Amino acid sequence: MATERIIETRDLRRTFKAKAGDVEAVAGVTLGVAAGDIFGFLGPNGAGKTTTLRILATLLPPTSGQATVAGFDVARRPDQVRRQIGYVAQSGGSFGGATGREELVIQGRLFDMRKGDAQRRAQEILDALELADAADRPCATYSGGMRRRLNIGIGMVHRPAVLFLDEPTTGLDPQARARLWEEIRRLRESGTSVFLTTHYLEEADALCDQLAIIDHGRIVAEGSPNELKRQVAGDVLTIGVTGDTDRVVLLLRDQPYVREASLQDGLVRLYVDRGEEAVPHVLRLLDGHGMAPQTMSLHRPSLDDVFLKQTGRSLRESAA
């Protein structure tokens, strides 16, 4: 049974004019997001994540290409798209001088809710996000985590089908981040599709059902976090041996379960399909040749390895 796609783009492009020449921030993005998923857009700063997000949120027209959100074309029916989406920018969206309650109520009213309904909905959100105590204080007095929760709450007032989150946990401490992850998962449970951008590997890995890795305006890889990590050279088994390390490399390279074997910094580095199964084989093999490893470590592939493979750069190093 094919899952309905809540977001679909085809060769989406956006060029900005600049003095030094045109910049193609989004260079042909084609993707699909299944309804009910948490979809992540992972990439370094400047990759085109935010620009793509803004096009989908109808804030920017695409230069060319097509995008459909919740069944409506973003260029032709932006007004209809806006009723179906919530958008939480990096800059937030709430005004410091207003109270949390005021921001939630006016958002509801701007979406045609009657005063009473908007107030009830505001209270519902305040309770769900544990902001009820702070509701009538100016939101400039909220902590970073509270403010983020409020901003997401504002995006959710009208119960949209899709929530767009631009770097939702940037600048938050680990506790607030974990808290927000829980919140986002809860949104998915209630049926909202979430499209988020991030440059945090752990976040993409832990939170997202599907990912697209973007670099310089192009998608370089897509799939679930596990699928992506498996695409790379597999698990990494690092072995420290004394003696003839070259011989060890040659020996292991010929093994069927080893994809690649190399020597790095005096350590033998193996890329294997299933590290946990390879370890006993490797141990038996080395033992049979009279060698015993001194150290051995198994390292699961990370999304950084995926990025590294596709672009030749480490995402961690690119994150400024």
- Residues forming contacts to another protein in the complex (CB under 8 A) are 54, 57-61, 79, 82-83, 85-87, 89-98, 102, 106-107, 109-112, 138, 154
| Torsion over CA: 114, 154, 120, 186 (sign) | positive
What is 117-151 written as a DSSP string? HHHHHHHHHHHHTT-GGGTTSBGGGS-HHHHHHHH
Residues paired with residue 260 on neighbouring β-strands, in sequence order? 271
CB of 154 to another protein, least distance (A): 7
Q: Which is nearer to another protein, 152 or 201 (CB)?
A: 152
Minimum CB–partner distance for residue 296 and another protein (Å): 50
CB of 81 to another protein, least distance (A): 9
Query: With respect to another protein, which residue has the nearer C-beta, 131 or 157?
Result: 157
Question: DSSP letter string over 21-69?
Answer: --EEEEEEEEEEEETT-EEEEE--TTSSHHHHHHHHTTSS--SEEEEEE
**Which has the closest alpha carbon to 197: 47, 31, 25?**
47
In the complex with another protein, which residue's Cβ is closer, 97 or 256? 97
Cβ neighbourhood burial of 18 (10 Å; 0-12, 13-18, 19+): exposed
Least distance to another protein, CB of residue 248, Å: 57
Residues in the chain: 320
By beta-carbon proximity to another protein, the closer residue of 54 and 199 is: 54
C-alpha 95/C-alpha 122 separation (Å) is 16
Q: Between 9 and 58, whose beta carbon lies closer to another protein?
A: 58
Smaller CB separation from another protein, 147 or 229: 147
Minimum gap (Å) between residue 7 Cβ and another protein: 15
Q: At closest approach, how far in Å is the CB of 177 from another protein?
A: 20
* Beta carbons of 84 and 155 less than 8 angstroms apart: no
In this complex, which beta carbon is closest to another protein, that of residue 118 or of residue 228?
Answer: 118
H helices, E strands: number in the chain:
12, 14
Burial bucket for residue 93 (CB in 10 Å: 0-12, 13-18, 19+): middle
Q: Which residues contact 56 (CB under 8 A, 6 or more apart)?
A: 7, 9, 67, 69, 74, 85, 164, 195
Minimum CB distance to another protein, residue 23 (Å)? 14
> Could you tell me which residues are beta bridge partners of residue 263?
268
Cβ 189 to another protein shortest distance, Å: 24
Q: Which is nearer to another protein, 102 or 304 (CB)?
A: 102
Rank residues 154 and 214 by Cβ distance to another protein and give the closer one: 154
What is the distance between the terminal CA atoms of the chain, rounded to a whole angstrom?
42
Shortest spacing between CB 92 and another protein, in angstroms: 5
Q: Which residues are 193's β-sheet partners?
A: 162
Q: How far is CA 317 from CA 25, 242, 296, in A?
A: 21, 32, 26
